Chain A
Amino acid sequence: MGLTRQSFGAASLREKFAISTKSGQKIIALAGNPNTGKSTVFNALTGLNQHTGNWPGKTVLQAQGSFYYLDQEFVLVDLPGTYSLLANSIEEQVARDFICFADPDATVVITDATCLERNLNLVLQVTEITERVIVVVNLLDEARRKKIQVDLGKLEQELGVPVVGTVARSGEGLDDLKQKIYDLAKGRINPKPTMIKYDIRVEECINTIEPLISELHLGRLNTRWLALRLIDGDMTIIEGIEQYLGVNLSDSFKSEVSLEWAKVQVN
């Protein structure tokens, strides 16, 4: 049993996100908080091979660029800088939709070594959506200057995804990053991110909802994460499923949903 859905492939999905790819290219999403040097990493990796436009239907700037590493060409998509992916702004929604629906071959999350705790909030949200994540701990030079040390090995172990330390402005660590991107996109490494344990109340809700969602067979969409969003009352995810997975939900269902949504968004 599953939802009726129009036939879709990765290619048509990418068209919906206005990502132009040739066959054989791997898609890499670049996420991160504002002020973490995300655009420095983007510029350093893609050089002059970039172009900008808008996300379809949104007045949010989209930048994409390409680069080669070894025998592989990559398309790097710069997502809007956000603190979270809980869809509280258009930027957050754009970033979330791309990571969960465009099915990138890898998602790179740039973090600021001097302010890791805040940045980990986003990292943890990304690893809930997809397993193919690389965490970049950038601005290590600033951290050194401020006498802040980050145990990258331990972070990798705790998160369960590859971690790369960089100083993007001077190029330090970028080769390592490219190698990790290559390995991940080629399927040579398969990260198993450590899931967040929620409190009993939340876990109970997840346990009730998740089995029902997995029966819907929504492709690669992470069921635990989707359950959380539904419990959370995040109705933008329903829009996303309709728009990107081509699932048609009945009007009565939608009006029910929007009613719920209105209650949440009292503002």
Chain B
Amino acid sequence: MGQSASELDFGNIMQIVRNTSHDGEEKIRDRIVSNIYARAEELAERVVTKSQTRNLDRTIDNILTSPILGFPIMLLLLGVVFWLTIQGANVPSSMLAEGLFWVEDRLTDLFMYLHVPTWLDGVLIHGMYRTFAWVVSVMLPPMAIFFPIFTLLEDLGYLPRVAFNLDKLFKKSGAHGKQSLTMSMGFGCNAAGVIACRIIDSPRERLIAVITNNFVPCNGRFPTLILIASIFMGGLAASTYSSAVATSVVVGLVLTGIAVTLLVSWTLSKTLLRGIPSSFTLELPPYRKPQIGQVLVRSLLDRTIYVLGRAIVVAIPAGIITWILANIHIGDMSVIAYVANSLDPFASLLGLDGIILLAFILGLPANEIVLPIMFMAYLSEGAMLELESLSVIRDLFVSNGWTWLTALNVMLFSLLHWPCGTTLWTIHQETKSSRWTILSFLIPTVIAVGVCFLTTQLVNLLGIL
């Protein structure tokens, strides 16, 4: 009773299978699937009774995916989400900042009372604690508002409608229709967006989705965009409209990100990842009444706290390192000033300065710490400020030579630059390829540098400033 005998059996069977289902597998499969569905239909007829009701889903879809209103509503919803986030985050942000900096003062008192050496006081309070306080007060309020609203839209079933509306653009870009879904996931966290790309079967289209996911700003970058939009762009308008102006700027940036996503997808599908879009079907599930309580708990626990925790874990060592770099001197210059100075010539081509560029570089582990590093680096050179309100931040930036062009470039660079460390690591995990990981780093970086360079040169040329 050896192996050969059994192989023979199986071979025989396959032979007989071929003979019996001679008219080709395609037709036999059609018959099998038809039979199963026929049985399902019969069963459903016997057990389900429907009374005719007005189909509310259809009515909602008539509006949300209408040829005329579909796109304006998407834009409007995007705007409303950001407006609520910007408007709502303002007050709790400054309250948190006030509270946390009050604690800082008490800690300083305590350290003085304990005669803690100045350097340790510096590392722990100005380095570690202050960065922590910044990350929490800048990040927590927008996230605690944005995530629940976003989860709510997700729960309602709106995201597939977005995919339905946008699909043609993705198809034209040679990308998979589900890329608009993975893109939406990127709003929360790009690493999560990259993992979500698994829903795309074709390797070519999955890679495109992975590489371009970074062009939607994740929650680590939102607070940066929102803060800068609020203090610079919002500040340009009368205070009644400032939130509205800031909102339009953020919406504009998101649209820019989507445009770049489509453009890069198109370019990739014409060059490195050539091919035609694979077959695609999208279910538009019924709208569901979301469980408000669950949405709150889930978005706060699973997303907000998780992301904030990650930010803090990265921010604390980064804060310490930055403080040390700002306080160790080479000659009469701190290490930070030294590095920033050497980056200055290149950075100024992009309409940035050395410190901004350095902050983005040091922010590689997590985008959340880019702003706190900027604050610390600027502060280490000047008077000690307690950044309790937006106007103080604005003053700090302006006194360091920022103009609205600098602000615009910082936002563009933040939107388009390299993915954070976690995302890169995830890309490597998902693609198992160093080549694609490196490209995922290089493509956004080149685009960010190029866009900022062109913007700056254009503005200078036109002499708008």
Contacts and interface: CB of A to CB of B under 8 A. Distances in A.
Interface of A: 1-4, 34-35, 59-61, 86, 89-90, 114-118, 120-121, 123-125, 142, 146-152, 154-155, 158-159, 169, 196-199, 201-202, 204-205, 208-209, 212-213, 215-216, 228, 230-233, 248-250, 252-253, 256-257, 260, 263-264
Contacts of B31: 198-199, 201-202
B41 A216 contact: no
Contact of B286 (A121, A142, A205, A228): A142
Interface of B: 1-7, 9-14, 16-18, 20-21, 25-26, 28-29, 31-33, 35-37, 39-41, 43-44, 46-51, 53, 195, 198, 201, 283, 285-286, 288, 291, 294, 430
Nearest to B39: A196
Contacts of A34: 283, 285
7 contacts: A2-B6, A89-B201, A147-B53, A197-B35, A231-B32, A253-B11, A260-B18
Nearest to B15: A256
Given A35-B283, A121-B37, A3 B10 contact: yes
Given A209-B16, A256-B14, A1 B28 contact: no
| A-B pairs with lowest CB-CB distance, top 4 | A233-B25, A117-B44, A120-B40, A35-B285
B2 A4 contact: yes
B45 to A, nearest CB: 8
Nearest to A154: B47
Contacts of B28: 201-202, 205, 231-233
B283 A257 contact: no
Contacts of B12: 212
A212 B9 contact: yes
B13 A230 contact: yes
B1 A1 contact: yes
Contact of B32 (A90, A116, A202): A202
Contacts of B11: 250, 252-253, 256
Nearest to B9: A216
A3 B17 contact: no
Contacts of A250: 3-4, 7, 11
Nearest to B432: A59
A115 B37 CA distance: 13
